[in-house]
Amino acid sequence: MAMVYVTRRMHFNAAHRLHSDALTEDENAQTYGACNNPMGHGHNYELEITVKGTPDPVTGMVIDLKDLKDLVQHVIIDKIDHKHLNYDVDFMRGIVPTAENIVVALWQQLRDKIPAGELYELKLFETPRNIAYYRGE
């Protein structure tokens, strides 16, 4: 029984502002620099969802990647694509939208809904050079 990891890569565009209510204005400016700009800025985020499991002996699939795509579209992408992460997303309220916090929040939305196999890793590309990933540890 082989353990195989399958990954679907998806994308969304969103605005965000790095700003913590637990910090003063000066501390926010110093901590987040240009990312603290009051009107926000934005990114073309890429999200890689990896599910691990043993391929079904009949279908040869760990999970139908089309089903995984549709699930993530419904549970995550539809709620954050073309949105402002500080204001428009219920499950992000009160959370500073760093890549680290976003990827953990997305994990919590998704982990119990995977119909086959097990969620192994979420990897979020804020830009091609700034990346965060989470494995539920």
For the four alpha carbons of 53, 67, 113 and 58, in that order, the dihedral sign comes to: negative
Nearest-angstrom CA–CA distance, 117 and 1: 13
User: Pick the catalytic residue: 25, 41, 82, 118?
Assistant: 82
Q: Does 137 contact a copy of itself by CB under 8 A?
A: yes
DSSP state of 113: G
By CB under 8 A, is residue 109 in contact with a copy of itself? no
Binding residues for a copy of itself, how many (CB under 8 A)?
66
The verdict on whether 126 is a catalytic residue reads yes
As a whole number of angstroms, the distance between CA 86 and CA 27 comes to: 18
Cβ–Cβ < 8 Å for 48, 9: yes
- Would you name the residues annotated as active-site residues? 35, 82, 126
Enumerate binding residues for a copy of itself (CB under 8 A): 2-11, 13-16, 18, 20, 22-23, 31-35, 37, 39-44, 48, 55, 58-62, 64-66, 81-84, 86-88, 95-101, 103-104, 127-135, 137
